[in-house]
Chain A
Amino acid sequence: MVLNRFEYDSGFKERGKSMHESPLVVQSMCPVRVNIIRRVFTAPVITGISEAFVSIKHICASLLNPFNWTLPLAGILFSMLAVASQAGDETQHEFLLFPSVEIYDNTGVDDELFDSAGYIGIADFMYSYSGNRLRFLGEYVLSTEENEVERLMAGWLFGEQTMLWVGRFHQPSKYWTTEHHHGQYLQTSISRPGIEEWEDEGGAIPTHITGLLFETGQIRKDSSGYQLAVSAGFAPVLTESGLEPFEPWDPSSNHGAAYNFRLTFLPDYFDSNQFGILGGWSDIEIDSDNFASQIGTESVEELQLGVYFNWSWEQLRIIFKANYLENKYIRPDGDFTDDFWSGYIQAEYAIRSHWTVYGRHENSFGEEDTEFIRLIPKFVSHRNLFGVRWDIAMSHALTLEIADTETLTSDFGQYRLQWSTVFP
């Protein structure tokens, strides 16, 4: 059977749907691709060769699309310039490894999105290079669930506390994420709140952004201070299974724009006690395999605003966050808007120096009537949990957690047991 080009292009499964990435345009610009297409169209086994075809197509598209090489090239040039400019300066390197192993059981789950039981092993690697002005940071997660470059960023230090980063980072308006990243050992609980989840775990707010991140801070003489972080970059897309971050190394990866900020006040700049405001706006494009795209929605403009605090009194610590989210659906037949609230409060109490008991209440209001949440089936809208953490030796922890979890379509119990640590 010989496919005509239109049929082939229509059936070509890829996420990027913008004009510059369509096979039609790439073919006209890349002679190598024309030959490949001729061969593919006449080959008896299209599926086998199509893999090679896809690879070459990606390379061609990558070379032809300025967007895809501008950012990495800028990053390389930036780094070379910076390294050259500070030759002779003292440099420092940091390496951290956060391993963790978790076994879990989801009782009463009737949704295929959640496994009934299993285990998760995670190794989170962080490396940083620091010169007099230049800093480089990479974070990579290797787990039984996924392997992903979490952060890859180069930064320039202006003065003592102002930093401009370029690359892929965790955007600043997700407090929990930017406090713990993938360092499981650093967070008391095993799970993270639904509104703070990663994109592929049912997160409703974008986390991984590729672009620019500006961070600054000021310490007063009494040790109090503030921190401000502002970011601008490329937002995730909404696929069939939820949000999917923009991948700078994948030319078919689609994106809209995302802008986020967080302003933090610290009564003691060196302590973790803090409170602040945060927010962001993201233009989330919808992938063609998502139901919303099939009924005509082109994108969702998500506005989110929130307040939070993290406060300790002797043995008691409270972490609170409330988020308001407004979603505007861009459709050819007219835009419409809906909104909802989501938040959590977590209380931790240290019994002696090695035991901590904790509980968390998560709640959402109006999410049942929000189209956007219906498109993210794993989003946890309600959860009550209780846990105990035992800190063993200097940097090991064993944690047991019991939760009652609700999504829009499921209500089930979760039991988790986790060991976590940090090296060195």
Chain B
Amino acid sequence: MISRLFAASLTLSLVLCWTAVRGVEQVVLVAGENSPIENLSPLELRKAYFGIVVRYDNQIIRPFRNLSDSQLNRIFLQSVVAMSERSYERRLISLTLKSGRPRPEDFTDQDVLVRALRDHPHSISYMWRRDAERSIGIKVIKLLWQEN
């Protein structure tokens, strides 16, 4: 009995320690550190990721998709575009065919994505907060999602 209680306490302690070390998971909107973009509303963000023109300083905002992490992609689809992956991809293709509007660029390598954000001041993307804080040359614009 005592050994069971000890095992349960140990497990609980480990879980609590892990959570404390890891912190609460967050997804943030990011841009290059020299980007003039200060904030974007949820509607503007959604527009940008559907290829609809959103301007900042009279320049069109270029949205980049971060496909380096499948869970991050799921959160993006759920909290930013509010569509399943299949519906979103199909909608993008349809809108591009209709009016030639460019689709968001896809990045599967986060290092390449960070370089692209630095190179294009009017571009935006999203990533885990821990990754954003580790990356050099980008800034966090706003919080997009937080683990409950």
Contact: B59 with A132, CB < 8 Å? Answer: yes
Residue of A nearest to B46 (CB): A270
Q: Which of A39-47, A89-97, A104-112, A233-241 contacts B (4 or more CB under 8 A)?
A: A89-97
> Is B115 close to A, CB under 8 A?
no
Cβ of B90 within 8 Å of any chain A Cβ, yes or no, is yes
B43 close to A223 (CB less than 8 A): yes
Task: Determine whether the beta carbon of B94 is less than 8 Å from that of A90.
Answer: no
Contact of A186 (CB < 8 Å), options: B43, B52, B97: B97
Is B23 engaged at the interface, CB distance under 8 Å to the other chain? no
Q: Does A178 contact B (CB under 8 A)?
A: yes
Contacts of B97 in A (CB 8 A): 96, 98, 126, 139, 180-181, 183, 186
Q: Are B99 and A215 in contact (CB under 8 A)?
A: yes
Do A183 and B120 have beta carbons less than 8 Å apart?
no
For A183, give the chain B residue with the smallest CB separation: B97
B98 touches A94 (CB 8 A): no
Known: A92-B62, A181-B98, A221-B43. A186 touches B120 (CB 8 A): no
Query: Count of chain A residues with Cβ under 8 Å from any Cβ of B?
Result: 39
What residue in chain A is nearest B97 (Cβ atoms)? A183
**Which of A155, A181, A270, A394 lies in contact with B86, CB distance below 8 A?**
A394
Q: Which residues of B contact A98 (CB under 8 A)?
A: 97
Q: Per-residue 0/1 for A369-406: is the Cβ within 8 Å of any B Cβ (1 yes, 0 no)?
A: 00000000000000000000001001100000000000
* Consensus secondary structure, chain B interface: mixed
Distance (whole angstroms) from the CB of B122 to the closest CB of chain A: 7
- Assess whether B91 is in contact with A272, with CB atoms less than 8 Å apart: yes
Q: In the bound complex, do residue B90 and residue A186 qualify as a contact, i.e. CB atoms below 8 Å apart? A: yes
Which residue of A is nearest B121, CB measured? A90
In the complex, chain B residues whose CB is within 8 Å of the CB of A191: none
| Residues of chain B with a CB closer than 8 A to A161's CB | 52-53
| B81 & A270 in contact (Cβ 8 Å cutoff) | yes
Interface size class of B (residues with CB under 8 A): 20 to 34
Contacts of A129 in B (CB 8 A): 100
Q: How far is the CA of A215 from the CA of B90 in the complex (A)?
A: 22
Does A178 contact B98, Cβ atoms closer than 8 Å?
yes
Whether, in the assembled complex, A136 has its beta carbon less than 8 Å from a beta carbon of chain B, the answer is yes
Q: Bound state CA distance, A89 and B60, in angstroms?
A: 9
Pairwise interchain contact B102-A92, C-beta atoms closer than 8 A: yes
CA distance A181 to B55 in the complex (A): 28
Q: What string of 1s and 0s marks CB contacts (under 8 Å) between B33-54 and chain A? A: 0000000000100110010111
When C-beta atoms are compared, the residue in chain B nearest to A221 turns out to be: B43
A90–B120 CB distance below 8 A: yes
Task: Kindly list chain B residues whose C-beta atoms are within 8 Å of the C-beta of A215.
Answer: 99
* A136: contacting residue among B89, B94, B96, B100, CB under 8 A: B100
Q: Is A137 an interface residue (CB 8 A)?
A: yes
Q: Which residues of A contact B50 (CB under 8 A)?
A: 270
Please determine whether A130 and B102 come into contact, CB atoms closer than 8 angstroms.
yes
In whole angstroms, how far apart are the Cα atoms of A215 and B98 in the complex? 12
Q: Using Cβ atoms and an 8 Å threshold, which residues of chain B touch A221?
A: 43
Chain A positions 105 through 144: 1 when the CB is less than 8 Å from some CB of chain B, otherwise 0: 0000000000000000000001011101001110100000
Query: Is B65 on the interface with A (CB-CB < 8 A)?
Result: no
Q: How far is the CB of B62 from chain A (nearest CB, A)?
A: 7
Tell me which residues across on chain A come within 8 A of B93, comparing CB atoms.
96, 183, 186, 422
A391 and B89 CA atoms in complex are apart in Å by 14
Asked if B96 and A128 make an inter-chain contact with CB atoms under 8 angstroms apart, the answer reads yes
Q: Contact mask A207-245 → B, CB, 8 Å, 1/0? A: 000000001000101010000000000000000000000
Which residues of B lie under 8 Å from residue A155 when comparing CB positions? 100
Assembled-state Cα–Cα distance A155/B86 (Å): 29
- B103 at the A interface (CB under 8 A): yes
**A-contact bits for B111-148, CB 8 A (1 contact / 0 none):** 00000000010100000000000000000000000000
Does A408 sit at the interface, judged by CB under 8 A? no
Do A395 and B89 touch across chains, with their CB atoms under 8 A apart?
Answer: yes
A128 near B53 (CB under 8 angstroms)? no
Taking CB atoms, residues of chain B closer than 8 Å to A223 are 43, 46
Closest to B88 in A: A270
Contacts of A394 in B (CB 8 A): 86, 89
Bound-state CA distance A183–B91 (Å) is 13
Q: Which residues of B contact A128 (CB under 8 A)?
A: 96, 100-102
Q: Give A219 to B59 CA distance when docked, in angstroms.
A: 19
Question: Are B53 and A160 touching (Cβ within 8 A)?
Answer: yes
11 inter-chain pairs at a CB distance below 8 angstroms, sorted by A residue, are A93-B102, A98-B97, A128-B102, A137-B99, A160-B54, A161-B53, A163-B99, A221-B43, A223-B43, A270-B50, A271-B83
What 8 A-B pairs have minimum CB-CB distances, sorted nearest first? A128-B100, A137-B100, A92-B102, A160-B53, A130-B102, A183-B97, A270-B50, A94-B102
Known A96-B97, A157-B53; 9 more pairs at CB < 8 Å: A89-B59, A128-B96, A132-B60, A161-B52, A163-B99, A183-B94, A270-B50, A271-B83, A353-B86
On A, residues with C-beta under 8 Å from B are: 89-90, 92-94, 96, 98, 126, 128-130, 132, 135-137, 139, 155, 157, 160-161, 163, 178-181, 183, 186, 215, 219, 221, 223, 270-272, 353, 391, 394-395, 422
